[in-house]
Amino acid sequence: MQIKASSGRNSQKIGRRCGPTAALLFVAGALLCIGCKEPAVEVLIDLSRIAGESRDSIEAVHGKPMVCAEAIPGPECKYLDGNLRIIYLDDAAIMIFFKPQDSIPLDDRSIERIGFQGEPFIRNPGGYEYRALKGKNSVTILADDDSHVYRYEVRNYNVEL
């Protein structure tokens, strides 16, 4: 490939010929760059779609609770073999606790496993705190001694206590 620049009456060659090897390297570099994006993480449960939802809509997805008991400020129900606990206020899920069964390392992408995205407001070895996610939700990720996720806690502040 040659590039020419015209200036009045004279034409002048700029650059040099690119061989097939240079073109191949360019294409390979472009494809490598496209592949640079980190792969999506597996969403274990989309808690962002549960926060603030009614009990009926949650039960339509996760089935009837194993058990419900009175708690402050409202009923607390357990789903998914007790790994998902939800506290309702005026029929809205205001507090959600989820304990994953798999060993998940505590890192900046742990939040994506429950359907949220964001940067931690607080980050320490014991866990991360996120604020103002998808409305008025705060998320706390607690870690065990091995820096793996022990429990996710979501608080929905769209409902006034």
Query: Mean pLDDT over residues 51-66, rounded?
Result: 94
Query: What is the structure's pLDDT at 20?
Result: 61
Give the model confidence (pLDDT) of 2-57 as tens digits. Answer: 444 444 444 444 444 555 665 555 555 554 555 556 788 889 999 988 999 999 99
Query: Mean pLDDT over residues 106-129, rounded?
Result: 92
Best CA proximity match to 144, nearest among 82, 81, 93, 100: 100
End-to-end CA distance of the chain: 70
Cα gap 7→115, rounded to integer Å: 58
Cα gap 47→156, rounded to integer Å: 11
Phi/psi-derived region of residue 124, left when phi > 0, alpha when psi is between -120 and 50, beta in every other case: beta
For the chain, what is the mean pLDDT? 81
Strand boundaries in the chain, DSSP class E: 3-7, 10-14, 67-70, 75-79, 84-89, 92-98, 122-124, 127-133, 137-143, 149-156
pTM: 0.72
Percent of the chain with pLDDT over 90: 54
Domains along the chain with CATH numbers: 3-34 (no CATH), 47-156 (3.40.33.10)
